[in-house]
Amino acid sequence: MDWGMRNRLSQLIQRDGRALFLPIDHGYFQGPTHKLEKPGETVKPLLPYADAIMLTRGVLRNCIDPTNTKPIILRVSGGTSMVGEDLSNEGITTSVKEAIRLNASAVSMSIFIGSRHEHQTLINLARLVDECEEYGIPVMAVTAVGRELEKREARYLALCCRIAAELGARVVKTYYCREGFEKVVEGCPVPVVIAGGPKVESEMEVFEFVHAAIEKGAIGVNLGRNVWQSDYPVAMIRSIRAIIHENYTAKEAHDLFVQIKEGKA
């Protein structure tokens, strides 16, 4: 692995081997998502606690202060929308040259295994890896399921993660599943971060699945809605950060959340 690749990965994955990535790229297919209508304002108070932010070039250029020093994971796939026919029909929307110009530490794209457009998204990943490796830029593959949330079980996720790693992804983002998540991680030879998925009912639920995922081998999270759609987003990100980087239990994280919410921490 060359110096540039190692350097960029070390910006993303911290010295303890863990990572907290904050995605605000949802608008690329959802439009102005609730609480993400003004992404620059949403992310500003959260940036100090994230290890990297994931977003599209449009939002980066227009909403993020160029003096920001947090690593950027640039979302480079798209071409579909919530109102379109098929979310899996994605292509590459941003050049590697642009990623370099924007000083990205990594690029990310979705793959849709088991979908009508599986082949196209996997070939896109392979080509993106080819191009990015030339410049020492890590590619994070996002194992997406479109609207079919029932696909999120261990056997399917293990298949997706392994294929992404085989095609050369340096990091894989996938969903957490209660049953057999350790098998997903064991079968994937590159680091795994978990997605947050749809916003859940309680903060405790988030802390529990983040803690469980770390226990079972994930290196961290790439979690958006459960942070910035919260009524207390800073308290959420600080508490999740404590689980990832300070080995807090879910209960300790929840106690911290309450303290921050009440202005005591």
Q: Which of 35, 151, 173, 216 is catalytic?
A: 173
- Kindly give the residue spans of alpha helices, DSSP state H, lying in 34-105: 39-43, 57-63, 96-101
CA distance 52 to 13: 9
Beta bridge partners of 156: none
Distance CA 242, CA 121 (A): 35
Q: How far apart are CA 144 and CA 79, in angstroms?
A: 14
Q: Which residue has the tokens 């990310």?
A: 108
How many helices, marked H, and strands, marked E, lie in the chain?
A: 12, 10
Using alpha carbons only, give the angle 93, 193, 260 rounded to the nearest 5 degrees: 110
Alpha-carbon span 193 to 180, nearest angstrom? 16
Does residue 153 sit in helix, strand or coil? coil
Q: For residue 109, give the DSSP letter.
A: E
Name the residue among 150, 13, 169 with its Cα closest to residue 77: 169
**Residue 130 has which token pair?**
């080819």
Q: What does the angle CA 262 – CA 21 – CA 28 come to, to the nearest 5 degrees?
A: 105
Catalytic residue check, 251? no
d(CA 193, CA 174): 6
Catalytic amino acids? 173
